[in-house]
């Protein structure tokens, strides 16, 4: 068979697909003329060959060797180490097609452009792999190693079963963590075998026993796997102690790898809260918001963890009861303090999003105006970050002026240059017309008070308002 393949290794663009036995074609693609590399007595690792020029792979200090086109991966243009055939009938190197599917998030075959779901099977092409190995041996090239067996669902199910054995628990968790970190293919099998549900169940068990052993590993696995929407809903439906368990994790101060543990916990909690039902979000307790605000206050988590905490607050904001608990937990003060540190764009958008909701209630507005930096930092962000920030900032100032616009608050707006910033905002053509109306409303309603100040240019302002 090898002689047959080698004798036909100069396929033209009109060549038919290469086929072994009665199975699907190894490759169905129009290739250039033959691919060549020079020959030498020096051993050469074939899987490190790169396409230096088209159509050939050339090394000028070696005699020519023709490489069969069907040895080459259509994606990497390198000789395949672990050929696998997709449901579209095309053979690729496993690493390349998995990167295409799982890392690049593509859902079509790169050659045929036919649908190629990420959950579809990649069938090892053993015939082609053995042929490549034989070719390497006969041409004095380092033989490519036989790929190690890939993870399968049965193996994962056995590992989940081992979690119930106390003496195997930590060892099993570390195995699962290594597997999840290895590649996206493993994550796919772990998701299908029910690892996310098993990890959540284990964390709830740890919470009940108050024994933290295994907590870090379980959270790390969940963070790597990324719970999908349907599974998150199912997990929340089947276990009513998840929120209480996560609250305990966030409020614990004696954890090993405290920053990593809490950052992972927040990332997972964000995903769960996003899929939480209205009844779940309506039943959140004060301790839950104390824990979230406490994390923001301490700042002993990663930036991703901070953003996850802010996302959790934002998703809980539509319920008035939750906003009241956030205010009581000191959220307004901590959010302003966080924003005064000039965080990244996304963090600012989340902070102002939560502040807008909290300023819709009287207690929230009271906390906002009592902080000497509140009005100033919100006004400063207008026209500096994004349209989302412009929207939230103008609406926050509108709420404050309309419902809490005391003389001292209006004076602070003038001193913090919020008034002048709103005037500039009115002059920008690309700004939303609705927000411009809100800005005009703020300026019109307080014009009589501000015009008394010597530093206020009432004539210039009149030009923009009427």
pLDDT, one tens digit per residue, over 375-434 is: 999 999 988 889 899 999 999 999 998 888 788 888 888 888 888 888 888 888 777 778
Average pLDDT of the chain to the nearest whole number: 81
- Binning pLDDT at 50, 70 and 90, where does residue 463 land? low
Does 79 share its domain with 118?
yes
User: Would you say how long the chain is, in residues?
Assistant: 466
**Domain at 124, CATH number:** 3.30.40.10
Whether 302 is in a domain gets the answer: no
Whether 305 is in a domain gets the answer: no
Tokens 């590992």, residue located = 159
Work out the percent of the chain whose per-residue pLDDT is above 70: 82
Residue 24 has a pLDDT of 45
* pLDDT for residue 70 is more than 70: yes
The Cα 223–Cα 196 span in angstroms is 10
Whether 251 is in a domain gets the answer: no
Task: Report CA torsion sign: 166, 171, 174, 180.
Answer: negative
* pLDDT for residue 359 is more than 70: yes
Whether 209 is in a domain gets the answer: yes
Whether 188 is in a domain gets the answer: yes
Q: Model pTM?
A: 0.73
Does 84 share its domain with 109?
yes
Domain count, the chain: 3
Mean pLDDT of 5-16: 38
The Cα 286–Cα 306 span in angstroms is 19
Tokens 């998030």, residue located = 105
The tens digit of pLDDT for each residue in 187-216 reads 888 888 889 999 999 999 999 988 888 899
What is the per-residue burial (b if ≥16 Cβ within 10 Å, else e) of 227-251?
Answer: beeebbeebbeeeeebbebbbbbbe
Does 123 share its domain with 173?
no
Does 171 share its domain with 103?
no
Q: Which segment of 219-228, 286-295, 331-340, 438-447 scores lowest on mean pLDDT?
A: 438-447
- The range of the structural domain enclosing residue 213 comes to 151-226
The Cα 321–Cα 283 span in angstroms is 9
Mean pLDDT of 87-91: 92
Half-sphere exposure at residue 316, Cβ-oriented, CA atoms within 13 angstroms: 31
The residue from 139, 162, 187 where one domain ends is 139
Q: Which segment of 60-64, 81-85, 419-423, 434-438 scores lowest on mean pLDDT?
A: 60-64
Which DSSP letter does residue 101 get? Answer: I
* pLDDT for residue 264 is more than 70: yes
- Binning pLDDT at 50, 70 and 90, where does residue 23 land? very low
Residue 405 has a pLDDT of 79
- Binning pLDDT at 50, 70 and 90, where does residue 22 land? very low
Whether 248 is in a domain gets the answer: no
Mean pLDDT of 365-381: 92
Does 109 share its domain with 186?
no
Residue 307 has a pLDDT of 96
Residue 193 has a pLDDT of 86
Does 387 share its domain with 446?
yes
Does 125 share its domain with 194?
no
* pLDDT for residue 343 is more than 50: yes
Does 129 share its domain with 189?
no
Mean pLDDT of 283-303: 93
The residue from 80, 105, 139 where one domain ends is 139
- Binning pLDDT at 50, 70 and 90, where does residue 445 land? confident
- Which DSSP helix (H) or strand (E) runs through 257? none
Identify the three-state secondary structure at position 17.
Answer: coil
* pLDDT for residue 262 is more than 60: yes
* pLDDT for residue 55 is more than 60: no
- Identify any residues that bridge with 67 across adjacent strands, giving them in sequence order: 35
Does 366 share its domain with 452?
yes
- Binning pLDDT at 50, 70 and 90, where does residue 454 land? low
Residue 457 has a pLDDT of 61
* pLDDT for residue 315 is more than 90: yes
Whether 160 is in a domain gets the answer: yes
Residue 465 has a pLDDT of 62
Whether 7 is in a domain gets the answer: no
The residue from 139, 164, 189 where one domain ends is 139
The Cα 107–Cα 117 span in angstroms is 5
Does 121 share its domain with 157?
no
């Amino acid at each position: 068979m090898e002689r047959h393949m080698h004798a036909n290794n100069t396929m033209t663009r009109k060549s038919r697909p290469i086929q072994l036995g009665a199975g699907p074609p190894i490759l169905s693609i129009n290739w250039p003329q033959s691919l060549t590399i020079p020959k030498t007595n020096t051993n050469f690792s074939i899987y490190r060959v790169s396409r230096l020029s088209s159509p050939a792979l050339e090394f000028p200090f070696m005699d020519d060797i023709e490489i069969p086109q069907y040895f080459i991966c259509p994606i990497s243009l390198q000789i395949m180490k672990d050929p696998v055939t997709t449901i579209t009938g095309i053979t690729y190197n496993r690493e390349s097609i998995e990167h295409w599917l799982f890392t690049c998030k593509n859902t079509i075959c790169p050659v045929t452009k036919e649908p190629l779901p990420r959950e579809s099977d990649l069938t090892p092409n053993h015939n082609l792999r053995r042929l490549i190995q034989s070719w390497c041996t006969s041409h004095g090239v380092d033989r490519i190693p036989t790929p190690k067996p890939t993870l399968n669902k049965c193996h994962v199910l056995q590992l989940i079963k081992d979690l119930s054995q106390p003496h195997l628990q930590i060892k099993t968790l570390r195995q699962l963590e290594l597997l999840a970190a290895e590649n996206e293919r493993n994550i796919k099998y772990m998701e299908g075998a029910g690892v996310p549900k098993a990890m959540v169940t284990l964390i709830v068990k740890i919470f009940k026993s108050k024994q933290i052993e295994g907590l870090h590993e379980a959270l790390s696995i969940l963070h790597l796997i990324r719970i999908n929407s349907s599974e998150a809903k199912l997990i929340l439906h089947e276990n009513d102690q998840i929120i209480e368990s996560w609250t305990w994790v966030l409020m614990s101060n004696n954890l090993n790898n405290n920053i990593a543990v809490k950052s992972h916990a927040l990332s997972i909690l964000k995903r769960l809260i996003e899929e939480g039902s209205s009844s779940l979000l309506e039943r959140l307790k004060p301790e839950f918001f104390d824990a979230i605000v406490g994390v923001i206050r301490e700042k002993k988590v990663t930036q991703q963890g901070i953003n996850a905490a802010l996302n959790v607050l934002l998703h809980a904001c539509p319920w008035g009861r939750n906003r009241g608990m956030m205010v009581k937990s000191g959220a307004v003060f901590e959010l302003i303090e966080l924003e005064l540190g000039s965080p990244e764009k996304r963090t600012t958008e989340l902070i102002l999003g939560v502040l807008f909701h909290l300023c819709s209630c009287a207690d929230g507005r009271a906390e906002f105006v009592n902080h000497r930096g509140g009005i100033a930092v919100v006004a400063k962000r207008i026209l500096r970050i994004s349209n989302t920030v412009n929207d939230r900032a103008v609406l926050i100032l509108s709420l404050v002026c309309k419902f809490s616009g005391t003389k001292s608050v209006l004076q602070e707006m003038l001193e913090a240059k919020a008034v002048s910033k709103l005037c500039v905002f009115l002059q920008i053509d690309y700004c939303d017309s609705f927000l411009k109306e809100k800005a005009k409303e703020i300026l019109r309603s307080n014009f009589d008070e501000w015009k008394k100040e010597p530093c206020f240019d009432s004539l210039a302002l009149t030009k923009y308002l009427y």
